[in-house]
Amino acid sequence: MGHLIASLPQYDLPFLQADTDAWWQGIARHLRDQGLPDVPDHLTRIEDNERNWRNPNLLVTQTCGYPLMTELQQDLRAVATPVFNCEGCAGGTYSSAVIVHAHSDYQDLTDLRGHRVAINNWNSHSGMNALRHSIAPLAEGKAFFSQVLVSGGHVLSIQAVAAGRADVAAIDSVTWALMRRYHPEASKILRILTWTAPAPSLPYAVRIEADEHTFQKVQTALIAAGADPDLAAVRDRLQLKGFIPCDTPDYQTMLDFRSQAEALGYPVLA
């Protein structure tokens, strides 16, 4: 086995990387306090997050709950659910803000039939799965949107709606809060049409092969970091309040959303 790595890619926006690094330094200190060996000094950032998620040397990461329950179920095990301090979040859950242009006439989801949607990617809960779940009761088993634009990221979806290249997008509530707080330009010309149903927040996870001893120590360290007063300022900048212990079955909600859409004859967002 090579050197252990860690990654926290989910909210690692360019303007927050210094805060994400500071947050990792705090987590790493608590991991070392638990006696874990070879804790990485720095995060590993690569363009292909899935390569890190599948890396056998991964110690801890954050991923999306939908791929956790689908293509990554043989790779990762959820260990802690973050609790965020922002609109659309409650306890250890989050929703997606369904955003449209501020000057549009849309009043509810039914008004979006035949219009263009932007999604960040096909394996996203917040950008695709939650929205599919919301649209399924309205779609009557048919295509609902005229076009699905795959933007490549939530910020790019925000920009697509702001620029008029798409009419609607579902944006993870934490990303939406961070953009409104630190880069409000685009969000000022957008508005929230509605929110998707709540689901467990994006999990911190370990490799599926991690033994129970390691799992428990990582979980304990994360919960301690989430309550550490010395890390309160960086947690605030990241909209983070703390953690709830969890395990992978707690993310069954993601598969429930999918199966409910399928039962209504809407297996693919379209």
Tens digit of each residue's pLDDT (9 = 90 or more) over 4-15: 999 999 999 999
The CATH number of domain 90-199, selected from 3.40.50.620, 3.30.450.20, 3.30.200.20, 3.40.190.10: 3.40.190.10
What percent of the chain stands above pLDDT 70?
Answer: 99
3 state SS for the chain = CCCCEEECCCCCCHHHHHHHHHHHHHHHHHHHHCCCCCCCCCCCCCCCHHHHHCCCCEEEEECCHHHHHCCCCCCEEEEEEEEECCCCEECCEECEEEEEECCCCCCCHHHHCCCEEEECCCCCHHHHHHHHHHHHHHHCCCCCCCEEEECCCHHHHHHHHHHCCCCEEEEEHHHHHHHHHHCHHHHCCEEEEEECCCEECCCEEEECCCCHHHHHHHHHHHHHHHHCHHHHHHHHHCCEEEEEECCHHHHHHHHHHHHHHHHCCCCCCC
Residue with the bigger pLDDT between 117 and 183: it is: 117
pLDDT tens figures, 241-259: 999 999 999 999 999 999 9
pLDDT tens figures, 66-119: 999 999 999 999 999 999 999 999 999 999 999 999 999 999 999 999 999 999
Q: Mean pLDDT throughout 176-199?
A: 93
pLDDT at 1: 55
pLDDT at 185: 85
- Per-residue pLDDT for 2 more than 70? no
Domain boundaries, the chain: 5-85+200-256, 90-199
- Report the CATH number of the 5-85+200-256 domain: 3.40.190.180
What mean pLDDT, rounded, does the chain reach? 97
- Per-residue pLDDT for 187 more than 90? no
Q: Mean pLDDT throughout 176-203?
A: 94
pLDDT tens figures, 23-72: 999 999 999 999 999 999 999 999 899 999 999 999 999 999 999 999 99
pLDDT at 186: 75
pLDDT tens figures, 193-203: 999 999 999 99
